[in-house]
Amino acid sequence: METIESSQQQVEEYTLGRRVLCRQAQIKTLMSLFGQRYHMTPGSLFVYGHTGTGKSLVIQSLLLYLKLPHIVMNCVECSSPRFLFEHIFNNMPKGNGVSNTNSANTDDEYTDCEDMTSFIRQLVKAVTDNGLRNETLYIVLDKAERLRDTNVHLLPALLRLQELSELNVCTILISEIVWEKFRSGTGLCEPYCLHFPDYTRQELNEIMCLDAPASCDKELYALYVNIVLSVFHMVCRDLRELRHIAKLNYPYFIEPIQKGDADASQARKLWRNIEPHLKKALNSVYLREVSSLQWELMQQAEFDQSESDISKSAASRSHMELPYYSKFLLIAAYLASYNPMKYDRRFFAKNSGRISKRTKLIKKNVRTSNHLLGPKLFPIDRLMAIFYSIVEGNVMPSAQIFIQISSLVSLHLLCQVGGEDKIAAPKYKCMVTLDFIRSVARTVQFDIMKYLYDFL
């Protein structure tokens, strides 16, 4: 009886009050590493694992659960070491013995810190001031891989912080990449590495069941999650994405039950009902372009139409309106990017002459598709020459035309490539796809396929 109770208590402890699931092994390791409040902890910990495996969640909830003094820092912000140092000082937790009275006027308490030496000196002072001498202070650095890009000496020093400051300090690095990728300079002190493995399907199921809305039966929701996982587990294991999908499609699942068409026990019927929705959602995994409301509207519209319009909706996603001459400029840029220069005369000059049979034959054998090779550079002169030969009517070379080129560049439809001479003879590359340019050409009644060397 007692053993059961104690194991119950242990489970309670290792799930941090049932808030963190499926990470009991890791929590157990961490707890044993941390020990009691006044114990010395290893100087540095390195926690790694894929995104969405609960690294930050476990560390942060554990520190909060055990009420340990800690500072959390997201290293994305840390563009210079100064940010890191000052963040640590300005978020220094208060020890038990120190009263919390003067926390309000933070303006006066702001600490400046420029370099590592003064950081360590000030750290000792701050820790003593805040009454943390007898406890372990945890400094959590999330997204630690960013630290590699800053000062070379920062990371080794942070790993040896305990040694350098002679304080009971533990640096916890959280990263998505393995420790081996951090070894660049010298003087790195090997941290204790802790791996967070990916969740298995059962674990995913268990975690996702936490999302069950209050109105829904737990078992029914488990069934739903199981269905979702059976469709999506093949393509996507990101917990965040899966939860997003589950949330989006839940209304469809629950609909027949609420209407009274089906019973909670009729799993097969429910499955048949939800399957087409999930198949649709499979097309837009990771896109995140719509919120749940708009998703519903879109689904409705698609069900109203025939099923064959999927390609059309994909095209409308990338549809944009351009001024008339911009369209021609873009087409000219595309032609310049994908046609070999020596064939320009053939496409655009009036009397191009016929190609002899021999060259035709040779070409057939040798030519590799330019579309496989990707866009090529072209100078602005060539672009303008092609533009003037394809556009109808007489266009004055006004400043407006050139403005359009630069606005196409700013829209990422063209891309300016640095030559030696960016002002006198700029060079560009066309960045759009064949499908896109075809739809653009169609709007101006220009048969682009006739002008593309690859499709002759």
Partner 1 sequence: MSTNTATSVSTGCFVSKGKYKRANEINYLPDEDDKFIKHRLKHYAKQWDELSVQIDVLRSDLNAQIFDDLVAFILSCHKDRHDIHRLPITEIPTAVLVTGVNTPDHGVMFSNMNYIIKAKVTPFVARLLPKDCLRISSLINSIYNQLTNTLINPEDIDLDDSFIDESIDVDNTVSLKKSVRRKRTVSMSTLSKWYSEKCRTYVDDQSPRKKAKTFASPRKKTLDLKSVDETEKQDSKPHIVIMIEDIENMNASVLHDFISLCSSYLSTLPIVLVLGIATAITAIHQILSSSTSSLMCMEKFHAPPASQYLTHLLDKLIMTPSIPFKLGPKVLNFLLDNFLYHDFSIVNFIQGFKLCMLEHFLRNPLSELCCPVEDVDAIASKLTQAEIEHFRRHPSFMRYVEGTPGPVQAKTVSDCAAVKIRLAQEVKNLHSFHKVFFPTLSFLHCLGQNLPKFPLGKHLRELYSTCLSETIQESEGYKQAFFFLRLMCFDELCELLGSCLKTIESQTSEKTLLRLNEDVNKFRYRLKHLDDEIEESVPGEAEIKILPQRAKLHELKEKLQSMSSSRKRSPYERLREEILSYLDNHFKCSLVSPMSLSLHEVLYFNELAAVKEQIRPSPRYAIQTALTEPGKLLSCPCCQCGSDSILSSMPDLCIVYKLHLECGTLVNLYDWLQAFVMIISSNNGPENQKKSKSKGPTVEQRARFIRAVSELQFLGFIKGTQRKTDHVTRLTW
Min dist CB 379 to partner 1, Å, is: 10
Task: Return the H-helix or E-strand segment holding 169.
Answer: strand 169-175
- We find the least distance from the C-beta atom of residue 134 to partner 1, in angstroms, to be 26
**In the bound complex, what is the minimum distance in angstroms from residue 21's beta carbon to partner 1?**
10
C-beta contacts of 76-83 below 8 A and 24+ residues apart: 76/143, 76/146, 78/146, 78/147, 78/150, 79/150, 80/150, 80/151, 81/115, 81/116, 81/150, 81/151, 81/154, 82/113, 82/114
Closest approach of partner 1 to the CB of residue 323, in Å: 5
Q: Which is nearer to partner 1, 56 or 370 (CB)?
A: 56
Cβ-based nearer residue to partner 1, 365 or 410: 410
Q: What are phi and psi of 448, to 5 degrees?
A: -70, -25
Angle between helices 218-232 and 201-208 (to 10 degrees): 140
Nearer to partner 1, 265 or 316 (CB): 316
Given the rule CB under 8 A, which residues bind partner 1? 51, 74, 76-77, 79-80, 82-83, 86-87, 90-91, 106, 110, 112, 142-143, 207, 210-211, 214, 238, 240-241, 243-244, 247, 286-291, 293-294, 317-326, 381, 396-401, 403-404, 407, 410-413, 421, 423-425
Helices and strands, number each (H, E), in the chain? 21, 8
Which CB sits closer to partner 1, 166 or 289?
A: 289
Closest CB 5 distance from partner 1, rounded Å:
26
Which of 103, 163, 164, 165 is CA-nearest to residue 128?
Answer: 165
Element (H, E) at 72: strand 70-74
Where do the H-state alpha helices sit in 167-238? 201-208, 218-232
User: Which C-beta is closer to partner 1: that of 168 or that of 237?
Assistant: 237
Nearer to partner 1, 13 or 211 (CB): 211
Cβ atoms 144, 173 nearer than 8 A: yes
Q: What is the C-alpha to C-alpha distance for residues 119 and 151, in angstroms, rounded to an integer?
A: 14
Q: Which is nearer to partner 1, 46 or 221 (CB)?
A: 221
Give least dist CB 156 to partner 1, A: 23
- Which amino acid, one-letter code, is at 196? F
* Residue carrying the six token digits 């659960």: 65
Q: How far is the CB of 228 from partner 1 (least distance, A)?
A: 15
